[in-house]
Amino acid sequence: MNENKTLIAYATKSGVTEENANIIAKILENQYEFEVDLINLKKNPKPDLSQYKNIIIGSGIRIARWYGKVNKFLKNNFKDKNVAIFLSSGKAGDPESYDDAITKYIDKKLTKNPHIKPIATEAFGGRYADMDYTDPEKVKAWAQELGNKIRK
Ligand SMILES: Cc1cc2nc3c(=O)[nH]c(=O)nc-3n(C[C@H](O)[C@H](O)[C@H](O)COP(=O)(O)O)c2cc1C
């Protein structure tokens, strides 16, 4: 396992999680010199995790659920790895419902998956019909926090 090797594994339907995965990858590569692989779980649902010390997992939310490919990916054994999780959700983009999104989509999921002990979690705004709650600056700031945390 290589301390520098970082996997960003994600699933997206409307594209926001992929955009955010790309933003996070650029920050970690350019500012923290991590070696980052981006994997769309729809194309590669079972990547070999053995080489990665850092695993960042991204999902969109629809009908209050994480995408199925990510749910399956969460069943992996992440022992001795740094895991971080980010979501894209309509609710998370609205300050009035942000806390509710964290409770319903992140806290609940982690209670159900006690084998996952992430070092960081965040929910970013999504895109839905003509509403756009995306916030690339927030994503960049989170990626920097993460970089600082996992840097040797
Ligand atoms: C059919 C549909 C259902 C959705 N349901 C929810 C929901 O239950 N909660 C929520 O916060 N956002 C919901 N959204 C908004 C999505 O989270 C948003 O589109 C986000 O960008 C999805 O991530 P993705 O772009 O990576 O697919 C929904 C969007 C669609 C199109």
Question: Residue 52 in contact with residue 6, Cβ under 8 Å?
Answer: yes
Mean pLDDT of 119-131: 96
Q: Dump the DSSP string for 31-43.
A: TT--EEEEEETTT
Mean pLDDT of 101-119: 97
Mind listing the pLDDT tens digit for each residue in 16-51? 999 999 999 999 999 999 999 999 999 999 999 999
Mind listing the pLDDT tens digit for each residue in 51-75? 999 999 999 999 999 999 999 999 9
The candidate with the shortest Cα–Cα distance to 52, out of 73, 30, 31, 22, is: 73
**pLDDT > 90 in the chain, percent:** 95
β-bridge mates for residue 83, sequence order: 55
Residue nearest ligand 1's atom 22 by CA: 60
Question: Residue 56 in contact with residue 8, Cβ under 8 Å?
Answer: yes
**Spatial distance between the Cα atoms of 85 and 4, rounded to a whole number of angstroms:** 18
Mutate to test the pocket of ligand 1, among 10, 103, 128 (most ligand atoms within 8 A of CB): 128
Tell whether pTM > 0.95. yes
Residue type, 117: K
Is pLDDT of 124 > 80? yes
Residue type, 127: R
What residues does each domain of the chain span? Answer: 2-150
Ligand 1 residue neighbourhood (C-beta within 6 Å): 12-17, 60-64, 88-91, 101, 126-128
Band (152; pLDDT cuts 50, 70, 90): low
Mutate to test the pocket of ligand 1, among 17, 62, 69 (most ligand atoms within 8 A of CB): 62
**Spatial distance between the Cα atoms of 84 and 25, rounded to a whole number of angstroms:** 13
Q: Which CATH architecture describes the domain 2-150?
A: 3-Layer(aba) Sandwich (3.40)
**Spatial distance between the Cα atoms of 17 and 89, rounded to a whole number of angstroms:** 9
